[in-house]
Amino acid sequence: MGSSSDELVKRAEAILAAAKQYKGDRGERYELMKQLDVMYLDLEDPVDGLMRQWTFMNTSTALDVMVQMGAFEKMPKQGSITAKELGAAINLEPGIVVRLMRMLTGTGIIDLVGEDTYSHTPKSKIYLEGAAVDFFNLCINMRASYFRWPEYFKTKTPSDLLDLRKTPYSFAYNMEGHTFYEVLTASPERLNMFNKAMTQQEAGLPILGIFPFASLKEAVLAEPERAFMVDIGGGRGQALLAVNKETEGVWGCGAKMVLQDRKVVLDSISPEEAAGVVKMEYDFYTEQPVKNAHIYYFRRILHNYHDPLALRILRNTVAAMGPSSRLLIADLVIPARTEVGEDMSPYWMDMVMLSIGGKERSEKEFRTLLGSVGVEVVGVWMRGHQGVVEGRVRG
C-alpha cells in the first residue's frame, strides 16, 4: 500500500466530490472510474495485484465457456434459472455450471438470486448475440496466440518478428510460412468470426470529425483537375463516401475521389454503392499511378505492418506527391506515456498488432517513420485515441 491514511482520505473526498457533480457525461464517468482505479491500485499490495490478474484470467475463461456453449441465450432475459436447468439446456453437468458461475457472480457479471440460481445483469446481456460477443470471440481467439508468446520470443530472432509469415499468430496456430490473413482463411469459422468483429469495430471508428476535409475547399477549387482524395487500401469506399457527403460532392467541381484496392474487393462493390467514386485496382507495393493528388489517405492500413514494410508502402506514395499534396494517416495514436487508471485500449490494441505482424505508433514514432521517407508531420488531429497524422513532402 503506497499511501498514508491521510492521503487516502483526501483521495476519497475528491472522489466523493466528483461523484456529487456527476451527471452521466461519458468523460466525467471515465474520470471518476480513473480516480477509483488509481485509489484501488494504490491500496492493493503486490500479492493482491497478482491475484487480481489471476482472477481476470479465470473470469475470461468462465465467460468463454458460457459464450461458446450458448448459456447466456438459454437464460431468461427476465427472471432466473437454476444451475440444474441451465446445465440441462446446454448439456453441461450442473456442478460445473455452479463452479463457473462463481467467477461470474463474484465479479458482478451474473446476479446470484438464490442458491445456485442466476439471473442476467446488463453486463451479461452484452454477451448475447451481437457486436459485443463478436468482439469477445475475437479477443479469445487472440488470447490463444498470447499463450505461446513466451515460447515464440524465446526461440525467434528479431528479424523473424518483421516477417509477415513468421508472426506470433501463425506460430501459435502451427502455420508458420503463412500470413495472419492466410491463417484466418484456413478456418472458415475463424474467418467468419474475424470478419464479423471487424465489421462491428469499423462501424464504431470515426471517419469524420477528426481532420477538417472541408477546409481544403479553396485549394480544390483552384486546381480541380487534380484528384481530390486517393484512398489507398480503402476497402468498400466507406471513408470516401463519408468525405464526399461532407464536402457536398467536392463542392460540385468534379474533382475525383479515387478508391484503390485489390480487384477482388473492388469487383464486390456495385456502381450504386460507389456512386461518385472512381475504382482503381492497385497494389500499394508498386508505383502509385495517381500523381499530385490533394490527399493520399491511409486509414487503418499502416498499423498492419512493422516499419520496414510500412516504409516500402509509403515510398511509393511519397514519390507521387506534389509540393502541396497531403498525406493523411488515420490510425490510433499511442499516448506519449501511460498513466495508471487510464483507458488501456490503445495498448492492448498494440498487443493485437504485435501478434499479427503490425504496430500501433505514437506521435514520435509517426514523425520518425515519415521523416525517413522525406515527409514532415505538419499536424496531428485527434479524437480520443483515434488520430489523423498529416504530412507533406519536406521542401
Catalytic option among 120, 178, 294, 303: 303
Burial class (CB in 10 A: 0-12, 13-18, 19+), 180: buried
SS3 state of residue 383: strand
What is the Cα–Cα distance from 61 to 140, expressed in whole angstroms? Answer: 9
Distance CA 170, CA 161 (A): 11
For residue 325, what are the CA distances in angstroms to 222, 227, 248?
14, 10, 21
Dist. CA 244–CA 251, nearest whole Å:
9
In one letter, which amino acid is 171?
A: F
Q: Is 303 a catalytic residue?
A: yes
Show contacts of 351-355: CB within 8 Å, 24+ apart.
351/146, 352/142, 353/303, 353/304, 354/168, 355/142, 355/145, 355/146, 355/149, 355/167, 355/168, 355/169, 355/172
CA neighbor of 325 nearest in space, from 232, 225, 392, 250 = 392
- Backbone dihedral angles phi then psi of residue 182, each to the nearest 5 degrees: -70, -35
**Residue showing cell 488531429:** 381
The DSSP 8-state label assigned to residue 192 in this structure reads H
Torsion of CA 142, 187, 235, 196, to 10 degrees: -60
* Residue 36: partners with Cβ closer than 8 Å, 6 or more residues away: 15, 341
For 44-165, where are the alpha helices, taking DSSP H only?
46-68, 71-74, 83-90, 94-106, 122-125, 131-146, 149-155, 158-161
- Three cell numbers at 233? 487500401
Q: Residues with catalytic annotation? A: 303
